[in-house]
Structures are given as C-alpha cells and as structure tokens.
Amino acid sequence: MEFKAVIFDLDGVICSTDKYHYIAWKQMADNLGVYFDEIINNRLRGVSRMESLEIILERYEGSLCEEKKEKLAEEKNNIYKELLKQMSEKDLTEEVKNTLDTLRAQGKKLAIGSSSKNAKFILGQLGLGDYFDAISDGTNISRSKPDPEVFIKAAEFLGLEESKCLVVEDAKAGILAAHNGGFKSAGLGEAADSELVTYPLKTFSDLLNI
C-alpha cells in the first residue's frame, strides 16, 4: 500500500457495537413512548449521539427543550455504557487483529477516527487500549461526520498529510467525511457502495491487497 498510515473508524470497522446502541436507544425510546425499530437504528450508523437522538425524535409528537434532550441522551448513554462492560478481547476478531498486526509490521502508523465519546473505553475492553499511534474521537471534535474534522485531527496527531493516510469506514457519512477532508478511503458494508469510496472492500483483510 502507498499510504504511510491507516485511520480506522471504530464502530462497524474494528468492532461491532450496533446491537448495544440499538438496545440502549430502544429502551430510551420505550421509556419516552416513541416508536423505534432496527430500520431507524440503521440511520444512526456513524452519526453523533445528539444527531441520533434528533432522528429518533422525528417520530415524537410534541417538542422537547434542550435540557430534556440532554437528559435523554444521557439516559441512553448510561444504558449503553453498562452494556459495553460485556465487551472483551473476544469481541476482536482474529481477522481484524491479524490485519492490524500485519500493517504494523509493514511499518504503517495506525490511528482511530471515531465519532464516539466512548471510543477509548471500547478500545480498552477489546484489549487495544495502548495499541494505536493516535486516537481522534468524539471527545476532540466539535463537528461530526460528514465533516472531516475527526480524520483531519487524526492525521494531525500522527503528524502526516491527508494524502499519506487511508481512511477505513463502514458508513457512507464517513466516506463523505474522508472525501471532504482530501483522504482516500476504503469502505466496508454500505460504505463499499458509496460513489465516493476509493477502495470498496469485501472483508477487513482485503486492506492488505491495496
């Protein structure tokens, strides 16, 4: 691969937290009495916590003040964090671990570019707490994907130009963010179908063929 570094999205790329996000949002929505299902949940992939809440509230009749919205997001996050405690090194697949190790052995710098404010906790659960050369996540950005800020910060933390870094994403919003920031990208799942993706991947280890 021509790149000096790879910036990985976390949820949906390094690990799968979809089911925990779903359970937590579902519980919050049920408590509030607003309809929520897995199809709506799919629209939340790669989207920030408050933007996810706004999508769920499209079905809510009536209006809520900012303070109440913050409370709802906090309620969801507390349920989600409790569920994340179940995650362990077993949730890191052999394929992902071996691919990361191979890239590292090739001398590539490895970073995280995630919208999540829980990214460091999740990495710790997976046994990857000290693994990456840089972590850019929801705690160091003010604009979420498709804004490129999270990836630009990751490249900055690595001390590399955008053109030297490849972004790996599972969400179309993430591929757009990479494109907006001047990064080439590799896409998994729905991101592989994005018109803007540079390298569509069938599986994570395909990264080694770029």
Binding residues vs ligand B16 (CB under 6 A): 9-12, 21, 44-49, 52, 77, 114-118, 138
Closest to ligand B16 by CB, 80 or 209? 80
Question: Catalytic pick from 11, 137, 147, 170?
Answer: 11
Site string for Mg ion, 188-207 (x = CB under 5 A): --------------------
What Cα–Cα distance (Å) separates residue 61 from each residue in 26, 33, 34, 54, 139?
17, 10, 8, 13, 31
Q: Which residue is nearest to Mg ion (CB)?
A: 12
DSSP string, the chain: ---SEEEE-SBTTTB--HHHHHHHHHHHHHHHT----HHHHHTTTT--HHHHHHHHHTT-SS---HHHHHHHHHHHHHHHHHHHTT--GGGS-HHHHHHHHHHHHTT-EEEEE-S-TTHHHHHHHTT-TTT-SEEE-TTS-SS-TTSTHHHHHHHHHHT--GGGEEEEESSHHHHHHHHHTT-EEEE-GGGGG-TT-SEE-SSGGGGGG-
Interaction of residue 146 with Mg ion, rule CB under 5 A: no
Closest to ligand B16 by CB, 36 or 107? 36
Question: 18 an active-site residue?
Answer: no
Interaction of residue 170 with Mg ion, rule CB under 5 A: yes
Residue 14 binding target from Mg ion, ligand B16, none, CB below 5 to 8 Å by type? none
Interaction of residue 9 with Mg ion, rule CB under 5 A: yes
Nearest CA to 56 out of 82, 84, 78, 75 is that of 75
Closest to Mg ion by CB, 48 or 108? 48
Q: Residue 107 Cβ, how far from ligand B16 at the closest point, in Å?
A: 25
Residue 109 binding target from Mg ion, ligand B16, none, CB below 5 to 8 Å by type? none
Closest to ligand B16 by CB, 105 or 123? 123
Residue 117 binding target from Mg ion, ligand B16, none, CB below 5 to 8 Å by type? ligand B16
**Residue 88 · residue 125 · CB < 8 Å:** yes
Question: 147 an active-site residue?
Answer: no
Interaction of residue 137 with Mg ion, rule CB under 5 A: no
Closest to Mg ion by CB, 147 or 170? 170
Which amino acids are annotated catalytic? Answer: 9, 11
